[in-house]
Amino acid sequence: MEQPRRITDSFPRRRRRGPGRPPGRLKDKKDKDKDKVQLKVRDCPRAPSQPPPDPALMEMLRRFDLSWEYGPCTGITRLQRWERAQELGLSPPGPIRDALLEHRDNP
């Protein structure tokens, strides 16, 4: 009679670490080169960051996002949602559209 197969039979067995083996793997030459590249990237000057957004604007956008009054918001941008609500006669707030057009580059 044959014994049932186990899922562990499909994978090769690995030896457990002995007491003299260091944990983890040793770095090879490729890893050293990779560390140098990462170091160079970190040392590069960063592009000037944008100023933090206005908290009142963020609160207004959050309310617009969470309001089901203007329809579902999945799969479209805020501006597309605003325009769709306008076309359907739902009268979305005008300052939302102004803010979205003013900050087109900032999602």
Q: At what angle do helices 78-87 and 94-102 cross, to 10 degrees?
A: 150
Q: What is the DSSP letter of 76?
A: S
Integer Cα distance of 71 and 66 in angstroms: 10
Asked whether 91 and 105 are in contact (CB, 8 A), the reply is no
Integer Cα distance of 82 and 95 in angstroms: 11
Q: Tell me what pLDDT residue 11 has.
A: 73
Show the low-confidence residues of the chain (pLDDT under 70): 1, 15-50, 107
Q: Tell me what pLDDT residue 46 has.
A: 61
Domain locations along the chain: 55-103
Can you give the pTM of this predicted structure? 0.52
Q: What is the amino acid identity at position 83?
A: E
